[in-house]
């Protein structure tokens, strides 16, 4: 064990020493400045329409997510009840403690659970920390694995996104998410899972999420 430790330590040092020595002459290499980054981001977003929400909705639909718009978060249970209607005894997994879990689900006739189920008819309801208009991505930010598991495993992944949380770029969304402390899992999710691995044909869904339905809520969630 002692010998193994020594080897580990020496690999680290040898690698770092070797790397350091070989790039010593390149040290002056500058990282792009803030102005350069801003210029690139404004070039990248120059074609985006001014209505961020409308653009988000268009991009999200282009990524094969379904989108509905609600005016208040209190409409979420009824909207979900509609989405899962027709299923036999469906449950909705609500992994996050907080606003969504406290909604009056029972009143809308929806049974909730904490653990996800992968039955086709079941759904999960997750709140997105942000949206990205440039790509139609949802930002799922979580400290525990419950949220990513619910996102991945449910028959249908329903994501609640407050309109006020829609940012223009990935960078804006990252800043917003980080301002509340970087969580262990930050996933930019753009549409349901997909693969082109079988004979190069695009197949949706692949391994999960299978279906994504975004509920864009107009009312401010903060």
Closer by beta carbon to another protein, 37 or else 85 = 37
- d(CA 79, CA 213) in angstroms, rounded, equals 10
- d(CA 128, CA 160) in angstroms, rounded, equals 6
Closer by beta carbon to another protein, 70 or else 174 = 174
Q: How far is the CB of 91 from another protein (least distance, A)?
A: 14
Closer by beta carbon to another protein, 25 or else 180 = 25
Q: How far is the CB of 194 from another protein (least distance, A)?
A: 5
Q: How far is the CB of 53 from another protein (least distance, A)?
A: 18
Q: How far is the CB of 25 from another protein (least distance, A)?
A: 7
Q: How far is the CB of 31 from another protein (least distance, A)?
A: 4
Strand order in the sheet with 111-113: 66-70, 212-217, 156-162, 123-127, 91-93, 111-113
- d(CA 10, CA 3) in angstroms, rounded, equals 10
Closer by beta carbon to another protein, 34 or else 222 = 34
- d(CA 56, CA 62) in angstroms, rounded, equals 10
Distances (CA, A) of 221 to 101, 163, 170: 14, 8, 20
Closer by beta carbon to another protein, 111 or else 145 = 145
Q: How far is the CB of 199 from another protein (least distance, A)?
A: 4
Beta-strand pair 91-93/137-142 = unpaired
Closer by beta carbon to another protein, 177 or else 215 = 177
- d(CA 187, CA 86) in angstroms, rounded, equals 31
- d(CA 71, CA 126) in angstroms, rounded, equals 17
């Amino acid at each position: 064990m002692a010998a193994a430790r020594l080897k580990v330590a020496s690999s680290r040092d040898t690698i770092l020493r070797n790397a350091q020595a070989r790039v010593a002459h390149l040290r002056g290499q500058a990282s792009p400045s803030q102005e350069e980054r801003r210029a690139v981001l404004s070039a990248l977003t120059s074609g985006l329409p001014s209505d961020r929400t409308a653009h988000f909705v268009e991009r999200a639909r282009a990524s094969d997510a379904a989108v509905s718009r609600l005016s208040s978060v209190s409409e979420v249970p009824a909207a979900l009840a509609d989405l899962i209607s027709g299923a036999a005894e469906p449950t909705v997994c609500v992994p996050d403690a907080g606003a969504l879990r406290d909604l009056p689900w029972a009143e809308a006739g929806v049974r909730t659970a904490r653990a996800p189920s992968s039955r086709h008819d079941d759904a999960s309801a997750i709140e997105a920390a942000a949206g990205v208009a440039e790509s139609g991505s949802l930002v799922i930010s979580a400290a525990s694995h419950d949220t990513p598991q619910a996102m991945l495993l449910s028959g249908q992944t329903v994501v609640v996104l407050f309109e006020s949380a829609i940012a223009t770029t990935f960078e804006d969304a990252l800043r917003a998410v980080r301002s509340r402390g970087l969580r262990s899992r930050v996933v930019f999710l753009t549409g349901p899972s997909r693969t082109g691995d079988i004979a190069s044909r695009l197949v949706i869904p692949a391994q999960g999420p299978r279906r994504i339905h975004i509920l864009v809520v107009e009312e401010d969630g903060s």
